[in-house]
Amino acid sequence: MNAFLTLMADNWQQYGYWTVAVFAIVAAYIDGKELRVPNKLTFPMIVAGWVFSMILWEIQGDAWYNGLLWSLAGTIIGGLTLLPFYAIGGMGAGDVKMMAGIGAWVHVACIVNSFLVGAVVGGVIAIAMVLMAGEWRKHYDQFFYIFNEIITVKDPEKLSEIAGERKSSMRLLPYGIPMAIGTLMYMGWNGMLA
């Protein structure tokens, strides 16, 4: 019986990882096409992650509320990874909710590492976009201008307002794409999608 429960828990966990992979791909596709990740995708993913974690913990022989607590922690940390950038107008709320949704399923360690890999991927994509457009000097200067604003203005509302005014002159990167790539790379590297 214990062997059966172990096998069932392992399979259940794999379904969770693949659910996250599909969600990340769909969210990235929509973000790339529409520059937003819709609530009708993110909110159900968050709630389903909580339910999934409760069931997984029960299958593994632990208390369901431990699964819920880990899932809630992943949701909070996932949202917090991008919240500062959202607060200053650097990205949309959908990106924040996307990471919260992934965190609800994979919990704290995985979401932090996925974010870190995604941040590197995002940097590489941003540099490639700027180089391909031949706008290196403009964006180089703009980077330091924005960095200086963050240090001197310090008010997230004012920074968000300034970012909103500047958006039309900037090359926009749908951040759901690097976050999805980072998540898939991290999960693939660690054998979670085997």
HSE-up (13 A, CA, CB side) for residue 183: 30
pLDDT at residue number 22:
97
Q: Which two tokens stand for residue 157?
A: 């509302």
pLDDT tens, residue by residue, 57-114: 988 889 999 999 999 999 999 999 998 888 877 788 999 999 999 999 999 999 999 9
pLDDT tens, residue by residue, 17-70: 999 999 999 999 999 999 999 999 999 999 999 999 999 998 888 999 999 999
Count of C-beta atoms within a 10 Å radius of residue 74: 28
pLDDT at residue number 144:
77
Where are the alpha helices (H) located in the chain, listed in sequence order? 2-34, 39-59, 64-87, 93-133, 136-153, 156-166, 176-189
Specify the pTM: 0.86
